Amino acid sequence: MNKSDLVTAIAESTNLSKATAEKALDGFMDSIEGALSKGESVTLVGFGTFSVSEREARTGRNPQTGEPIQISAKKMPKFKPGKRLADSVK
């Protein structure tokens, strides 16, 4: 499912127009992105938790030459599914 399919599904399940459903989805994604950029987590009970994870600096290898390279530390978004979502996938 891509964004267009998701917008269509939201529009059908909520009786909203596709334009309104797309605005709602964009607002949802912007809100999560904004919270994560501030280092906050977003918890949707039953669905899951979006949070920020810190990766430590490490040494990797250049696959073409085999030379060791230094990979810098960085922050990455992380998602942990909630119980209801996890159970629905089983």
Instruction: Read off the pLDDT band of 65 (50, 70, 90).
Output: very high
Distance CA 59, CA 73 (A): 11
48: containing domain? 3-89
Percentage above 90 pLDDT, the chain:
99
CATH classification at residue 43: 4.10.520.10
* Residue 75 near residue 37, CB atoms below 8 Å: no
Domain count, the chain: 1
Per-residue pLDDT tens over the stretch 16-32: 999 999 999 999 999 99
The pLDDT value recorded for residue 90 is 81
Residue range 51-60: average pLDDT?
95
Residue range 66-80: average pLDDT?
95
Q: Which residue has the tokens 């810190």?
A: 54
Amino acid of residue 67: E
Residue 36 burial (CB count, 10 A):
18
